[in-house]
Structure 1
Amino acid sequence: MTMSTDRSPGLRVVAIADADSFVKWSAALIDSAPDVDPHLVLVQTPLVVSVAQEHAALAGTGIRPEAVTRLAYDALAGWLSADRPDVVVVGGRGPFVRLIMRQIDRVTPRPVVVSGLPGMSIPAQRGAALYRRYSDLMVVHSRREQRAFAQLADRLGLDMRPSLATLPFARPTRGAGGGTDLVFAAQAIVPHEPAERSRLAGILRSAALADPTRRVVVKLRSRPELGEAETHFERTGLTDLLRDRPDNLVLSHEPMSRALETAEGLVTISSTAAIEAMAMGVPVIALTTFGVSKTHLNTVFVGSGVQGEADDVIARRFRHPHPGWLADNYFHDPSESTWWSDVERLVDQRRRGVLVPRYVPAARGGALHDAWQRKAVLGAEDRSVLGSIALAVGAPLVRGILSARTMLGHRGAESWSDDGSDITVTPARYQDPVVRPRRSVLATVID
């Protein structure tokens, strides 16, 4: 365990995360704050990044290796009590955020708690808001997201404070692009169905065969064969579908920023890598072959000018976004990003004793439900007897709830089927196991 002793005059800010996309986001966010003493804590869960993933996530930030600490969950409250940060940024899936905030609630003085999502967050989802409603501030990254989460909070009756920040790893830069690579930003759950993922592999293969002199680079985020996980569970792996591939179709685990340095253009369905590419001046194709819908998380690109079909990918007809779309979607004027001034105001209120703590309430259902929530996030890292009992009791109940939701569907206004709205008030359509099946525990968290 390490702890920084060389404090700068600025605020002490600690980011707490586990999974790859949240590590990248939270580290880049605290690195973007002015005059702070930053530290990153990686909590041991089944999704925690490997050392290689950690290095990729921190590429481009100023966070030094000695400013990173790996902790068991039960050690977190003690570490925070000794470190006494002014601000804690919690980056993780909703159940992880709730569990971490329970540890923060044990810390005196309690720091200001910031939460957020690691990229594009249209549609604004019910679970994202519910799990983060006890943080003092929730960070969003576009004016459109700010409106959507304010609307969602109003619909759900939540006291939420969405605050605008520039997407921290999508800062405008020059010198990228101009290469010859078609870079594809892979996603674990989009598209979701096996047949769709097989068709996607075929598109990438066709793009490589169309010009053997130029590479198609499939940018991946984990190596399952090495025990690495990522935020979402990939049930149909692209690596398996691409075992038989042309020599110029290559798999890459390097940081996205590095992959874009040699890119002719980027292709994705709905990855935030599209925003990262736009910031670097790299043209984009947002693939619409599988549909444009909330379930594909790509309605945000409607009107952007970068949408395209499979034929466009194969022919490498990349596009730059329309200026009018940019201002409302992740490229607002930096002066509009008030998240850090909002944090400073909250820190001042905390120091004066007027910031009312937003404690996470005890789980309904008592100790067994509390043990279930802990076990579902920590998996094998939780060795408690009550956690094992909760898993045995809770898993069948959760499967029943998920089956009922599937039967009832997600229909109606502001649901997953309403592609004309930017919010969803119904539960998430696809539920990931927080602990991967290959690690023997099949806990699934629902929102």
Structure 2
Amino acid sequence: MQESTVGPLRVTVLADSDTRWKWGALTARRIASGARLDARLLRGRATPTTRQLAEVGIPADSMREVTAPEFLAETGRDTTDVLILSCVGGTVQAMLHGLNRAWEGAQRRPVVVTGYVGVVYEKLADGLLLRAGADVVLANSAHDADRFRAVYSGVGADPDSVVETALPFLEGEPYKPSAERPFTVVFAVQPSVPDSRKDRTYLLRRAVDHARFHPDREVLVKLRSKPGEHTTHIEEQPYQKLVARLDPPANLKLVYGHMGEVLDRTDLLVTVSSTAALESMHRGIPTAVLTDLGIREALGNHHFLGSAAYASWDRIDAGHVPVADPAWARAHGVAAVNPFGAVRERVTALAARDRLPQLAPYYTPETAPGYLPGVLARHGLDPKGEPLPGVAVEPTEPSAVRRALRDFARNSARTAYRQGVQRVAPVIRRWGQL
């Protein structure tokens, strides 16, 4: 990928999980290589841990954990040139309204960029309209760009805000088989797909069986997070806990770490619908999208229709090695040529303007009076985008004692939340099915 000629710029990324920090930081590097990069990590359920940040491995010139009101207070008097909102849709919507209030009367404001960290396979209109109003909404492929513009045109939002790019972490050396190591199969798991214990145990058992059927192969189960950590999605049934009951053979291992490093030693990537499939295809690594649980919107694997990547564990056991269809890959942002040229030009042009207009969210108190106030309140803002009474707005750097107490409280809350998700919620769901 070609790097940016834009500069010097200062870029701030607001991220609410480890995966979104990775997407936002890499997008910043693609837009403006060499720019100052400031990280603001939104305090919440999925705030990245130190281990997760180290695994992502992207340094920032400054990094601080903030609440939404704290971030808005800081940004209102900041000199950032580009602001990347790498968050869930509701948070993006709240920030768009809050930033309009924070920048009232300012001579200049940053260019606001947002987008998606991976495959958009559900809630297309919902997620897009929550992001509408940013200066630039990134689409990770030509396929997505067409869909995004159609949604915006359909409701009277600005379709020109959509700019086609690619996932910024599609990189790495092209695949070359190696005779110096065992043939390596990587099963890339996902935190929330599938979500049931039964389905997750089934997929894991098939990976274990594959390792038994092929003792000459190495089978790696690539995990996203350790038990107790949260990422972009909630993991109700961690694979680490499920595998112990399956008595895996020695040639099956659980691995963490950077996906790119795992792909460096991969000969076949297997997944349900992870964006790891796109990373793998980008490098020319054989990639199998599993059909064992069906091809269903709920699983997200319908995204790969036409890719020629579908396979079941039975076919994989028998030696099938899928090869992605080149035309499908090009249309879906894989192996694109200079995919960040257009967004660099757009951001450069906007940043050079003497004055930018107010952000224009599609949802307003007039268009969505029964929906918007709740979205804003969840982030400590009133319907005007101002902090609710009693909400702290000034960023503070806590003392060592306060940090320890805060971390203890947050970890305790996460543990309680996890217990509720993993134990109480399934029981309630079963009751509801009686």
Deviations along 1:252-304, whole A, 9 cap, x unmatched?
12110111111121111111111111222321111111111222212221121
Greater shift, 70-79 or 17-26, is seen at 70-79
Contact 2:164-2:339 within 8 A present in 1 as well: no
**Conserved in 1, the CA contact under 8 Å of 2:41 and 2:66?**
yes
Q: Name the counterpart of 2:72.
A: 77
Residue 339 to residue 268, structure 1, CA distance change in 2 (3 Å): same
Separation in structure 2 between the aligned mates of residue 193 and residue 99 of structure 1, nearest angstrom: 32
Alignment-derived partner of residue 313 in structure 1: 316
Q: Of 69, 81, 86, which aligns to 1:86?
A: 81
Q: Give, in whole Å, the separation in 1 of the partners of 2:72 and 2:168.
A: 27
Tell me, in whole angstroms, the C-alpha distance in 2 between the residues paired with 1:364 and 1:9: 41
Q: 1:335–1:72: structure 2 CA closer, same or farther, 3 Å change rule? A: closer
Shift of 1:365: 5.7
> Deviation per CA, 1:428-447, whole angstroms, max 9, x where unpaired?
xxxxxx9982387999xxxx
Highest RCO, 1 vs 2 (Cα 8 Å, sep ≥ 6): 2
Find the aligned partners of 2:327 and 2:262 in 1 and give their Cα distance.
27
Give the Å deviation of 1:355.
3.0
What pairs up with 1:95-106 in 2 under 5 angstroms? 95-105=90-100, 106=102
- Deviations 1:100-149 (Å, cap 9, x if unpaired)? 33443314443211110001224571221121012111101110111111
For residues 32 and 44 of structure 1, do their structure 2 counterparts lie closer, same or farther at Cα, with a shift above 3 Å needed?
same
Measured at CA, do residues 223 and 316 of structure 1 come closer, stay the same or move farther in structure 2, by a change above 3 Å? farther
Which residue is equivalent to 2:269?
266
C-alpha distance in structure 1 between counterparts of 2:97 and 2:389, whole Å: 17
Question: Which whole-Å CA distance do the structure 1 matches of 2:139 and 2:7 have between them?
Answer: 27
Correspondent of 2:379 among 360, 374, 381: 374
List per-residue Cα deviations over 1:313-333 (Å, max 9, x = no partner).
Answer: 334532221222122111333
| Aligned pairs, number | 377
CA contact (8 A) 2:128 2:148 kept: yes
Is the 8 Å Cα contact of residues 122 and 145 (structure 1) preserved in structure 2?
no
**Alpha-carbon shift at residue 198 of structure 1 (Å):** 2.3
2:220 to 203, 217, 221: 217
Residue pairs, 1:189-268, within 5 angstroms: 189-224=192-227, 227-244=228-245, 245-246=247-248, 247-268=250-271
CA contact (8 A) 1:173 1:281 kept: no
RMSD: 3.3
* Secondary structure in 2 matching 1:345: helix
How far apart, in 1, do the equivalents of 2:241 and 2:235 lie? Answer: 11
SS in 2 for 1:114: strand
2:31 paired with 1:26: no
TM-score of the pair, normalised by structure 2:
0.77
2:331 equivalent in structure 1: 328
2:345 aligned residue: 341
Match of 2:42 in 1: 43
Structure 1 residue 364 and structure 2 residue 369: aligned?
Answer: yes
User: For residues 222 and 65 of structure 1, what CA distance do their matches in structure 2 show?
Assistant: 22
Could you tell me the TM-score, scaled by structure 1's length? Answer: 0.75
Residues 201 and 238 in structure 1, CA contact (< 8 A), matched pair in contact too: yes
Partner of 2:8: 10
Shift in alpha-carbon separation, 1:386–1:113, aligned structure 2, 3 A: closer
Change (3 A) 1:437 1:171: same
| CA displacement at 1:336 relative to structure 2 | 7.7
C-alpha deviation, 1:354, in angstroms? 4.7
Write the deviation string for residues 155-205 of structure 1: whole angstroms up to 9, x where unpaired: 344334221112211025236664532111111222233332222122111
